Structure 1
Amino acid sequence: MSVDLAINGGTVLTPEGLRPVTVLVRDGRVAGLAGPEEAVPAAEVIDAAGLHVLPGVIDIHCHIRSPAYPQRGSVASETAAAAAGGITTVFEMPITDPCCNSPERLRLRRDHFAPSAHVDFALYAAPATLTEAAFEALAEAGAIGLKIFTTPAPPGREAEFAGLSWPDAADQLRVLQLAARVGLPVVVHAEHPELLARAAANAASLDAARATTHEAGRPALAEVLALAQLLTLNIAAGARLHIAHVTSAAAVDMLRRFAGSSDFSAETCPHYLLHTIEDIERIGVCAKINPPVRTAADREALWAAVADGTLGHVASDHAAFAPAEKGAVEGNFLTAPPGHPGLDTMLPSMLDAVAGGRMDLASMMDRLSGAGARRFGLADKGKIAVGAAADLILADLGAETHVTEAGLQTAARAIARLSHGARLRGRLTRTLVAGRSAWDGAHTGPAGTGRFVSPRTLHGGSQ
């Protein structure tokens, strides 16, 4: 057997565990796992001695928004950041202008990504019309899932949120019921609108320069009440429900209380696992994120939930902004735009957590990759096994990543201040997407090689 690529000498994370095997790649897929002494002719050989070979990360929660906001980066810049961070597939949220809320707009997003993407991409859609025909059309167009908010559209952003905001419980139930019929997962930003409105009104009288004011305006109780409502509704609806960016110990407790009641999953993000409100206070509005980063006790509860699987996914919630957008409201946590970049740094920060004993490597990679592939129906991703897509990472777990502004690939590198200066144990040396080099430790591969992926596409091909 001859192959296109052989990756020799590495320690490979397979579904059976870490193994000293050679990964053989043909036509963008894993063609075999050979013994270390087995010679197989290959057109290209990568020496992975001293390295770990890991499945590519699947980031199930990412915002790119191009071309509506060119100052925040492009598909090329942000998927280059993904490749540099070991992410081989990104799932883009539908919050763009206009909102990705119809089959036609989903196809426009697909066609916008395709010429520039460095990594594979999937697209969420917003359910603008609550009919079975509309949901079937979004599924047929290849949506990876549906996204909704339980809160009203932010003032001035109605076009971005058209079809996303469903604050009424009866509408949320209808979304879940229709999604269950067509088999699409539903990802929810869960905060209770009435509690949020009251908290925001109270916070308006507090010091806008304090991160604690932002947290007071979006309290954990609003997250927990919305979560309890959704989980109760899903007992009746039977949808594949997924809760985005869980932030608090109280929310973790609620997830555990509903365990086994319906088909639901949940994620958190590195900024909630690595930081506290004191960090946000120190850095300022560049680090403002919705929902807010909370206390050290919340952070520890989230880590425990990631470790035991209550939170089965870690996602970036990458959101790029230009320095001028954050800087225009410096010192005002009430009006600053929410979001922080995280594509470059998510995997390195989680490898550092593995080095620190937070979790074992296999479990962490499952939260970052395998679980997302299973949950969203990408059967050929998230694992290093014969027949799987050759989406691979090579990492030196004994080396260090020093995060600098200049070294980041995202166009939002200047506002990535939560990460600036970090020294992380573990360093990525190469990212491969379908067996092609997307990042070699210094440079990204050619743009336009990323593919549109969906459970409706055959073997990851384009529609």
Structure 2
Amino acid sequence: MTETYDLVIRSRRAVLPYGEKPAAVAVRNGRIAAIEEADAPLAAAAEVDLGDIALLPGLVDTHVHINEPGRTEWEGFATATRAAAAGGVTTVVDMPLNSLPPTVDVESLAVKQAAARGAVHVDVGFWGGAIPGNVADLRPLHEAGVFGFKCFISDSGVPEFPPLSPERQYEAFREIASFDGLIIVHAEDPAALSEPAAGDYASFLASRPPSAERRAVEQVIRVAEQTGVRAHIVHLAAADALEPLAKARSRGVRVTAETCPHYLTLTAEDVPGPDATAFKCCPPIRDAGNREELWNGLADGVISCVVTDHSPCTPDLKRGDFATAWGGVSSLQLGLSAVWTAARARGHGLSSVVRWMAEGPAALVGLNGDGARRKGRIALGYDADLVAFAADASHVVDAAALHHRNPVTPYAGRSLRGVVQATWLRGEIVDDTPRGALLNR
């Protein structure tokens, strides 16, 4: 008896775990049920032949600030997840700030989930927060399904999410280690930070030097080594921190790191003037030499994944200069194209981009194992989260055409390679009807 599938997608450039090859990917009940030769005869209710358009697994973005509820005018679940799908991202994990309330206890997690339910176009999971005074809430949050815990060492920018002192770090890390959880850290040493002397980019950059990141990373490594916790450095911008990370990993410390598209594609030299605050983020975008060292860190495996740190706000908060504007880059819809543009110029293929932007983030949060959801690969039994990606096409970024709630991005007017032509979530094309699920760890 001939097996019948719900959907078959054929591509001469399917990006599989072992490389690019022609393939036919068959879907049944939302999962990848077969991977055959591109011209294999397969019976299906629907079929798509992409030809030379690449077929990628849906990306997993584990660093997204959706901000709903409380600051939904900055971004919301409907707009953020629609932008994600348009950029080839089929799973996001939402940060515990800048929403109100922040996700620092089980009650606030329930509020966040209620706001998201029925509104999301891709699958969404949630981080919890580790702040002073909520150690007793960490295990209940873990048991309620958060993927891990975000903390700051320096000021977060919002008063309801204060940083952890060194003593509080040890307390939180030890508690999280007791149930083998994951702590993710915004690592900038407050003692190395200062107020910008002026409103231009050079002053802002000088106020947050690479030493602030390195010193904070070294502090995280010390506490992780003492407590045995699994720790992850978010949005690494300073290549100076790669050395201590590599040494720590070589001696068995469970510490990993990510970086972001804007650190891999933009440079301090690109910032056109003091009012170009779409480029402002913390840690800051550094010089071109630092950018190339980050690429080396990716190639060497010291950096394990690339995620956006999509951190939007309303346009009025971006007005002014680099001393006063909100720090955050909006790039959820553009991350794949931005990274692919830069990666191909350095000789990296689509398989590498998939490893950094799909497999790596999925592994970080445990979505690549034997659980109910398996993400980040075109492989048997995995969710049929798939992306048709015209890798050789180019487009100029029109900020007004983005799905983000507020059209502010440093990529405006830039020419990027790669166009997402279609995105499937568990075998269904993503359109204006929200079909995303809420994920638990």
Q: What is aligned with 2:29?
A: 27
Q: Are residues 344 and 46 of structure 1, via their aligned partners in 2, closer, same or farther at CA, if it must alter by over 3 Å?
A: same
CA contact (8 A) 1:102 1:128 kept: no
Q: What is aligned with 2:237?
A: 247
Give the C-alpha shift of residue 132 in structure 1: 6.8
| Pairing partner for 1:450 from 430, 436, 439 | 436
CA contact (8 A) 1:211 1:281 kept: no
Give the C-alpha shift of residue 278 in structure 1: 2.5
1:118-129 to structure 2, matched below 5 A, reads 118-128=121-131
Counterpart secondary structure, 2:146:
coil
Do residues 334 (structure 1) and 336 (structure 2) align? no
**Deviation per CA, 1:99-154, whole angstroms, max 9, x where unpaired?**
11011111221121121111111101113476775322111111011000012454
1:71 and 1:107 map into 2 onto residues whose CA distance is 20
After TM superposition, the runs of 4+ consecutive aligned structure 1 residues lying more than 6 A away are: 129-132
2:143 and 2:239 map into 1 onto residues whose CA distance is 38
Q: What is aligned with 1:227?
A: 217
1:132 and 1:340 map into 2 onto residues whose CA distance is 30
Counterpart secondary structure, 1:258:
helix
CA contact (8 A) 1:307 1:359 kept: no
Q: What is aligned with 1:284?
A: 276
Counterpart secondary structure, 1:318:
coil
CA contact (8 A) 1:130 1:178 kept: no
Q: What is aligned with 2:385?
A: 391
| Pairing partner for 1:409 from 403, 412, 429 | 403
Q: What is aligned with 1:359?
A: 348
Counterpart secondary structure, 1:406:
helix
| Pairing partner for 1:429 from 407, 418, 421 | 421
Range with greater deviation from structure 2 (400-409 or 87-96): 400-409
Q: What is aligned with 1:104?
A: 107
CA contact (8 A) 1:135 1:182 kept: no
1:98 and 1:345 map into 2 onto residues whose CA distance is 28
Q: What is aligned with 1:55?
A: 57
**Deviation per CA, 1:377-396, whole angstroms, max 9, x where unpaired?**
11211111110001111111
1:344 and 1:321 map into 2 onto residues whose CA distance is 15
CA contact (8 A) 1:321 1:340 kept: no
Q: Are residues 409 and 152 of structure 1, via their aligned partners in 2, closer, same or farther at CA, if it must alter by over 3 Å?
A: closer
**Count of matched residue positions in the alignment of Structure 1 and Structure 2:** 431
Counterpart secondary structure, 2:429:
strand
Do residues 190 (structure 1) and 179 (structure 2) align? no
2:102 and 2:414 map into 1 onto residues whose CA distance is 35
Unaligned runs of 5+ in 2: 369-373
The two structures, once aligned, show a CA RMSD in angstroms of 1.7
Counterpart secondary structure, 1:428:
strand
**Deviation per CA, 1:136-182, whole angstroms, max 9, x where unpaired?**
2111111011000012454xx322x1xx520x212112222211121
Unaligned runs of 5+ in 1: 439-443, 456-463
Q: What is aligned with 1:165?
A: 163
Give the C-alpha shift of residue 36 in structure 1: 2.5
> Aligned partner of 1:158: which letter?
P
> Aligned partner of 1:423: which letter?
S
Give the C-alpha shift of residue 75 in structure 1: 1.1
Q: What is aligned with 1:36?
A: 38
Counterpart secondary structure, 1:148:
strand
Percentage identity across paired residues of the two chains: 31
